[in-house]
Chain A
């Protein structure tokens, strides 16, 4: 059946809207939104399906959604803003701002290491209970005292959630305000974007309810079985669950808690979780990413020189924990174009999020992009990929990125 798609699509972008419509193979269980800014203009702003499959509440123009690890991209924009302001140096040791971080041999870790998943702190050694999620400073303190899982700077592996508290604590100490407040001040407010890390209470009713789709359920079940078979500590699993605060899929439906658990829980939605807890509209996300692109009159969020160093390659290749290729590539927190996540051109940068969320900017294509969905899938989830492919054909003119690198489907990150 055909889904009812609402919103606006400028002339010439219809194939993108068609790819978006294909997302709704089951419109009664899927909600989604897509926003694209091209050359400074919002050329696609569409949404459809249900915000809550349990009740049938429709996804509308103002529906907010948890963006999971797209949040790390937002924090990376914030960090780059502080670099631009001269307040932060990617090459400075973390201890320049956060002396306690030197415990257990971490003293030489740089700010860039935190951002590029090189800190050795992808998972907490001591479990983090759900009630601690609202106290980012306490979590940061505990990470500061923790022994790293590898020598910082010598290897990399994805820090699905701790990433946010690590760079967030540095940012808090620099700015004097919480990471969520700093994000509003330096990124969201200048762009007038409906985008929060730590959602104000009045916006809770607008948030879509996230559901675990069959492929994500199958993937996490497989991961858990593999970890049990392997024995030892399942560090990638602890990196997701924090040892008990969250379900492995990041959301769940708990009969004892009608709102749901993990990031469906309003308490968690209100907490500042700078690694995964951002909540936004697709329109807001696309606007923020578009605003990172240099403009002729210099009113973008980032200057060209800043963008250059922020998106310079810092981590690539095989990660510390075994994982099949293709592997992601990282700048200073930004997920760079790779076989694991294609953007429009080789110079695209952004961050995807668990369950199919994708948000990025592409300077060569002059695009800010965001796709959000509340039906979380994994593995060979190509919903966003097909939309990006359709867009590339329009704005770049070729199906692949033009540099001869084969187009890979592959692992998606959190």
Chain B
């Protein structure tokens, strides 16, 4: 059954697997707000568990916005969970601070909450990594409605040399070096850490001009031995040469998980009826896609789909929806 929470919209999510249960962390906001676009300003992080990715037990809200003035004063948004060598689970999440009640301008930063058990979380109270204007667009640039620095995806260095963080970010004007880009500044932001505690911002791992105003909810996942970068961008957020095309969950096979990536070669995995997709492996070891059901047109659905079986399409060199799911 799809995961839904009564009287709430549910949208972006991320999953931690403790080997016994899958832990779903999801954004939610009450439908009593009336306008689904207000959910972003009222987002909290909830927690549910499942053994099979289908039957979920909701455990309620685990992270709420911080205090006035803090980096996550308005809302807590999309993140990921990793476990360090110290045994601690860390949830890297997006903190958002809107500049005014009526403004959509907001500054995004990445913070971290820690847990010993995946159930109770202690937030950091301060961001651990923020957009660096040497390479990334900030609100001060005046070129975009938000300082995009969100949806962290943290993974270990393949050579054991610390950790990497991918971030939804936008190229700053100095990096872009090309005034013709317009809004087409979406890039995969990058930061590195030796210890999961101290992070150093690095130049983007992709170039702007790939056709995306943002590459949301990035995830690196291995499917049939191939590393794939997954991200989401809906039709309205396409730019440049991709303007007017179909949006949704995108995929890009990569040769190295530490980049560089060329999103201009991305292709759709599923269209934007589903969004913020994640690929996880079920208990049989098979890859499945979960995503939130976006709805079509103006009717926002706001719940998380059942797993969609996937396969590697060797002929086309990409991930594809497995045929059985259409039966």
Contact = CB atoms under 8 A, between A and B. Distances in A.
B60 A138 contact: no
A135 B57 CA distance: 9
B243 interface: no
A138 B21 CA distance: 9
A138 B120 contact: no
A132 B58 CA distance: 8
Contact of B57 (A100, A103, A131): A131
Interface in A100-133: 100, 103, 126-127, 129, 131-132
A142 B118 CA distance: 10
A126 B57 CA distance: 14
Interface in B42-66: 49, 57-60
A33 to B, nearest CB: 35
B59 A129 contact: yes
Given A138-B21, A138-B49, A145 B60 contact: no
Interface in B1-50: 21, 49
B116 interface: yes
Contact of B59 (A100, A103, A126, A145): A126
B62 to A, nearest CB: 9
Contacts of B57: 129, 131-132, 135, 138
B117 interface: yes
Nearest to A100: B117
Interface string B107-140: 0000000001101100000000000000000000
Contacts of B116: 103, 145
Contacts of B21: 138
Contacts of A132: 57, 59
A103 B117 CA distance: 10
A219 B117 CA distance: 38
A141 interface: yes
Candidate in A100, A103, A132, A138 with the most chain B CB atoms within 10 angstroms: A138
Nearest to A135: B57
Contacts of A129: 57-60
A145 B58 contact: no
Contacts of A138: 21, 49, 57
A127 B58 contact: no
Contacts of B49: 135, 138
Contacts of A135: 49, 57
A263 B221 CA distance: 44
A140 to B, nearest CB: 12
Contacts of B117: 100, 103, 141, 145
Contacts of A126: 59-60, 119-120
Interface size class of B (residues with CB under 8 A): 10 to 19
B64 to A, nearest CB: 14
Interface string B289-321: 000000000000000000000000000000000
Contacts, number: 28
Nearest to B58: A129
Contacts of B58: 129, 131
Contacts of B59: 126, 129, 132
Nearest to A103: B116
A142 B60 contact: no
A132 to B, nearest CB: 5
Interface in B233-268: none
A110 to B, nearest CB: 23
B302 to A, nearest CB: 20
Nearest to A130: B57
A118 B58 CA distance: 30
Contacts of B120: 126, 145
A145 B115 CA distance: 11
Contacts of A127: 60
A103 B87 CA distance: 14
A149 B221 CA distance: 43
Contacts of A142: 119
A198 B205 CA distance: 54
A136 to B, nearest CB: 12
A127 B59 CA distance: 8
A348 B116 CA distance: 44
A135 B59 CA distance: 12
Contacts of A141: 117, 119
A64 B19 CA distance: 38
A242 to B, nearest CB: 13
A76 to B, nearest CB: 28
Interface string B84-125: 000000000000000000000000000000001101100000
A54 to B, nearest CB: 28
Nearest to B20: A137
A169 to B, nearest CB: 14
A226 to B, nearest CB: 27
Interface in A140-182: 141-142, 145
A97 to B, nearest CB: 17
Nearest to A137: B20
A140 B119 CA distance: 13
Contacts of B60: 126-127, 129
A126 B119 CA distance: 10
A175 B59 CA distance: 29
A121 B196 CA distance: 34
A360 B84 CA distance: 51
B7 to A, nearest CB: 14
A142 B120 CA distance: 10
A371 B119 CA distance: 41
A171 to B, nearest CB: 18
A318 B59 CA distance: 34
Interface string B189-224: 000000000000000000000000000000000000
Interface of A: 100, 103, 126-127, 129, 131-132, 135, 138, 141-142, 145
Given A103-B117, A135-B49, A138-B57, 12 more contacts: A100-B117, A103-B116, A126-B119, A126-B120, A129-B58, A129-B59, A131-B58, A132-B57, A141-B117, A145-B116, A145-B117, A145-B120
Interface of B: 21, 49, 57-60, 116-117, 119-120
The list of the 3 closest CB pairs from A to B, nearest first, reads: A145-B117, A131-B57, A132-B57
27 contacts: A100-B117, A103-B116, A103-B117, A126-B59, A126-B60, A126-B119, A126-B120, A127-B60, A129-B57, A129-B58, A129-B59, A129-B60, A131-B57, A131-B58, A132-B57, A132-B59, A135-B49, A135-B57, A138-B49, A138-B57, A141-B117, A141-B119, A142-B119, A145-B116, A145-B117, A145-B119, A145-B120
